[in-house]
Amino acid sequence: MIIEQLYQHFKKCSTVSTDTRKIEKDSLFFALKGDNFNGNAFASQALESGAKYCVVDEKPYALDQRYILVDNVFETLQNLATFHRVQLGVPIIALTGSNGKTTTKELINAVLSKTYKTTATIGNLNNHIGVPLTLLRMNETTEIGIVEMGANHPKEIGLLCKIAQPDYGLITNFGKAHLEGFGSIEGVIKAKSELYDYLKANQKTIFVNENDPLQIKQTLHYDKVYKFGLSTSTDTMLELINTQPYVILSYNGSVIKSQLTGTYNFNNIAVAVAVGSYFNVAPDQIKNAIENYTPTNNRSQILKKDSNTIIMDAYNANPTSMMAALENFKQLQQKGKMIFLGDMFELGPTADTEHQAIVDYLEQNDLGNTFLIGKNFYKTNVKHTSILKFDGFEALKSHLQNHQIKDAFLLIKGSRGMALERILDIL
């Protein structure tokens, strides 16, 4: 079936689904395949659960007219998303980067939604499936689309750009993330810059942080660049006032008091302010959006647990984001500091070196008692008695159950697979 014909079926449906456990009535179900499952086998179940049509790519499963047979379900999902995006013709902002993508996306959405009807990536559904699903959630009421793009291998961002065809784009930063797939920081820069390459080739606009030398270098010969930062020469100028413990900044003569911690979040906020300014959102509306944005899902949250105050930043971690979190924690003027760090994943052959670099930093900077959790940290060479190592969460749990923590100011940081938010249940 050609995409134009499928599109007519799509327009009769309420939404798109890829999971039979979350079928909405009259949805269009795509029978995707995974390493351990064949979505075609669940097509009939999707219909029984309320789906209107099912897209399948194996003929034995196409039982009647409700089953739409295609060559490849996965590619059809992507092609339909692009076709829909072209039909709508709405401006789309794409963003990627090593750190802060989801927080920045949420901030941009908070600002723009003050003036426009927006559709943004839900959570971090930012891959080759999540991006098409985001596009297919857009409709005639959408005025601006905000699409987060993630990648852990070269050419993935380029593919996502072909699918989403963004009109605007930005890269939050270049950091040591997914080194297992990218190979090196140079590989990260090249892969993330696939977004810049697409935007330049199609004469689209790029938002650039003037205070980030790598961003400036990568966009040096680009024409359509909108700069923001601390300099008066930028298109949108901001001033960082304080980060103790929340980020406070000045924009357009007004002080904005955020609920985010860390200098790194100043950059994320600055992006949202710049994008809002570009799209003519009123300054007081930008201020209101930033001040009322509350971090969730273990991303730079400041929590209270009995007598303890916790910076919960355990959604994910890589060497760059972990070092940024530690640098910020070092600056905070608080008593009773303690740190919990979990392993950083997807570092490939650099894992040993990067984990040891974190330990070396901790030993050179007295940030308080530190707990290192995970097999990678457990292999590091630790000399300082204030740093304790645990090969896994259960070992840490046993220790904490016998050593109660009170009146402390804690930083919790680790990769998603470490699930360090479990510490809250022990404190």
State residue 1's pLDDT score.
66
**Which of the four pLDDT bands, split at 50, 70 and 90, describes residue 333?**
confident
Q: What is the mean pLDDT of residues 301-311?
A: 92
3-74 and 301-426 agree in CATH topology: no
**pLDDT above 90 for 298:** no
**Which of the four pLDDT bands, split at 50, 70 and 90, describes residue 177?**
confident
> What's the CATH code, domain 89-291?
3.40.1190.10
CATH of 3-74, one of 1.10.3720.10, 3.30.420.40, 2.40.128.20, 3.40.1390.10: 3.40.1390.10
Q: What is the mean pLDDT of residues 325-347?
A: 94
Going from N- to C-terminal start, the domains of the chain cover 3-74, 89-291, 301-426
Kindly report, residue by residue over 218-272, the tens digit of the pLDDT. Answer: 998 898 999 999 998 899 999 999 988 899 999 999 999 999 998 889 999 999 9
> What's 301-426's CATH class?
alpha beta
Q: Give the separation between CA 202 and CA 249, rounded to whole angstroms.
A: 34
**Which of the four pLDDT bands, split at 50, 70 and 90, describes residue 322?**
very high
Residue bearing the bigger pLDDT, 381 or 243: 381
Q: Give the separation between CA 25 and CA 418, rounded to whole angstroms.
A: 36
**pLDDT above 80 for 391:** yes
State residue 383's pLDDT score.
92
Q: What is the mean pLDDT of residues 87-94?
A: 97
**pLDDT above 80 for 37:** yes
**What is the percentage of the chain residues whose pLDDT exceeds 90?**
86
**pLDDT above 90 for 413:** yes
The winner for highest mean pLDDT among 73-87, 220-234, 308-322 is 73-87
**pLDDT above 80 for 353:** yes
Q: Give the separation between CA 280 and CA 269, rounded to whole angstroms.
A: 16
Kindly report, residue by residue over 95-134, the tens digit of the pLDDT. Answer: 999 999 999 999 999 999 999 999 999 988 999 999 999 9
**What is the percentage of the chain residues whose pLDDT exceeds 70?**
100
State residue 366's pLDDT score.
87
Q: What is the mean pLDDT of residues 351-380?
A: 96
**pLDDT above 90 for 35:** no
pTM over 0.85: yes
